[in-house]
A and B are shown apart, each in its own frame.
Chain A
Amino acid sequence: MNFFTKAFWLQLSSPKTFYPVAGKLTPLFMAIALVLTVVGLYYGFVLAPPDYQQGDSYRIMFIHVPAAWMSMWIYVVMCVFAIIGMVWRTRLSDMMAGALAPTGAMFTFLALWTGALWGKPTWGTYWVWDARLTSELILLFLYFGFIALRAAIDDPQRAARASALLACVGVINVPIIYFSVKWWNTLHQGASVGLTQKATMEETMLSAMMIMTFAFWAYTFAVAFMRVRNEILEREKNSAWVAQTLSGDASSDSVSQDANVGENK
């Protein structure tokens, strides 16, 4: 398993090779996600000090901001997978794009929902039609459109390519969401954390937020791998290795094990 050869990584683009790898990585990432969530929420809910303006109600930020970051990032990653699938015609890239979409939609909904819950005590309203909230809502609709188009077309390859094109058309929305607080007068606050500037946030709060972000990433990995495994089985159901894998799983039941005891596996 030489990680430094190109061949090793290229091999992973075959659904047959990736299926067991994804199977092994899923519980690992789930465990990481759980641990990081517990640590992050402890930092955020217990260790971080109350905000001087908002008191304790700001603590929903530790779910809201990572969810919003994930919603935008997953869309970009989905778009990258879609482009790779369109250009290099690799099936697994299409499957990964499809696997990421529901998680992205979930995070977008979570960001909007937690944002609304946060908005009521601080802004006095659950919702306002400013640039950032509206463009995040558009993102949610774009995710739904992606999933709907994929589901509506029967031929999996045509479905993947059509939804890939749709994702690429919609990706223009992500920078709009990101820069909306700079370009427009919005009610939503501006960026306090950036790649090029020093954070204007207190350290424990920042650590808690970053830990939660990594927790959500790990969760996304785990769930996307689970979903892509299902997708692989569904798409490759006519191939021999899938039949073998499925019958292999079935024969590990205790009922059939006695009957198979004399066979060479």
Chain B
Amino acid sequence: MITVFRCLLWREMTLALRRKSEILTTMLFFVIVVSLFPLGIGPEIDTLREIAPGVLWVAALLASMLSLNRLFSDDYIDGTLEQLIISSQPLALLVFGKILAHWILTGLPLVLLSPVLGMQLGMDADSIVILMLTLLIGTPVLSLIGAVGAGLTLGVRGGGVLLSLLILPLYIPVLIFGSGAVESAQAGLGVEGHFSLLGAFLFASLVLAPLGAAASLRISLD
């Protein structure tokens, strides 16, 4: 089982790195969206510092969501997904492997890019550290919950926008506590409560989301 998981993870990474443009597009989207806000709202640094946590989190959310379509669609089109489903390995494990690869390729770059963008919006170093930590815990949750939605909208007309409509309400709690933690840190208040809840979301979705995504794949392909 571990061998299969490692194999699948390696396959996902190799395939994705052969088409690096997809990963780079997600990162560029994140950067561009965050850069739009100072241009739209004005360069007043105090305002930007105030809205920075929210802006960065919403941009990370949107960037994460946009890349979800490619989680299953390529394998769906060429039949690999069907083979994964009928294989003797537990589908939840295989799905978890795909989600992990997806997060390493799209979520982790967002975490690594966030300090630069945080500085662009005038955040101080302590807040940026908290921001990175919240994104580190939060982006896997986004990938996990998003996988359920991606499985449900597989092959559906207008799937991309529909996926957003389905997934965003479920993302809202993560957004609230993720950006809330950074705002608390900026105000000098405690962040333990926010991190506790984010951690709870992470563990709950680690356990439940692969099962849900496996169920959604079975619904979509049978």
Using CB atoms and an 8 Å cutoff, list the residues of chain A in contact with chain B.
Answer: 134, 138, 141-142, 144-145, 148-149, 152-153, 158, 161-162, 165-166, 169-170, 173, 176
Contacts and interface: CB of A to CB of B under 8 A. Distances in A.
5 contacts: A141-B168, A149-B162, A149-B166, A165-B152, A169-B148
A162 B220 CA distance: 7
A100 to B, nearest CB: 18
Contacts of B156: 149, 152-153
Interface in B188-222: 212, 215-216, 219-220, 222
B50 to A, nearest CB: 16
Given A152-B157, A153-B156, A166 B219 contact: no
B216 A170 contact: no
B42 interface: no
Given A148-B162, A152-B158, A158-B219, A166 B152 contact: yes
Given A169-B212, A170-B170, A148 B165 contact: yes
A238 B176 CA distance: 49
Given A152-B162, A162-B220, 16 more contacts: A134-B172, A134-B176, A138-B172, A142-B169, A144-B165, A145-B169, A148-B166, A149-B156, A152-B153, A158-B219, A165-B152, A165-B215, A165-B219, A166-B149, A169-B170, A170-B170
- Bin the interface of chain B by size: 20 to 34
A170 B170 CA distance: 7
A162 B168 contact: no
Mostly helix, strand, loop or mixed at chain B's interface? helix
Given A149-B162, A152-B156, A152-B162, A162 B169 contact: no
Mostly helix, strand, loop or mixed at chain A's interface? helix
A145 B153 CA distance: 11
Interface of B: 148-149, 152-153, 156-159, 162, 165-166, 168-170, 172-173, 176, 212, 215-216, 219-220, 222
B165 A161 contact: no
Most chain-A Cβ atoms within 10 A of its Cβ — which of B149, B166, B170, B176? B166
B58 to A, nearest CB: 14
A141 B219 contact: no
Contacts of A149: 152-153, 156, 162, 166
Contact of A161 (B153, B157, B170, B219): B219
A91 to B, nearest CB: 15
Given A152-B157, A169-B148, A169-B212, A145 B172 contact: no
- Top 3 A-B residue pairs of the complex, sorted by shortest distance between their CB atoms: A141-B169, A145-B166, A161-B219
Nearest to A146: B166
Contacts of B162: 148-149, 152
Contacts of A173: 169
Contacts of A161: 219
Nearest to A158: B219
Nearest to B221: A158
Contacts of A153: 156
Contacts of B168: 141
B142 to A, nearest CB: 14
B166 A165 contact: no
A93 B81 CA distance: 29
A177 to B, nearest CB: 12
B169 A166 contact: no
Nearest to A143: B169
Contacts of A141: 165, 168-169
Contacts of B165: 141, 144-145, 148
A170 B169 contact: yes
Contacts of B149: 166
A179 to B, nearest CB: 14
B216 A165 contact: yes
A166 B172 contact: no
A153 B176 CA distance: 31
Contact of A162 (B158, B173, B216): B216
Contacts of B219: 158, 161-162, 165
B150 to A, nearest CB: 12
A172 to B, nearest CB: 9
Contact of B152 (A134, A142, A162): A162
Most chain-B Cβ atoms within 10 A of its Cβ — which of A144, A153, A170? A153
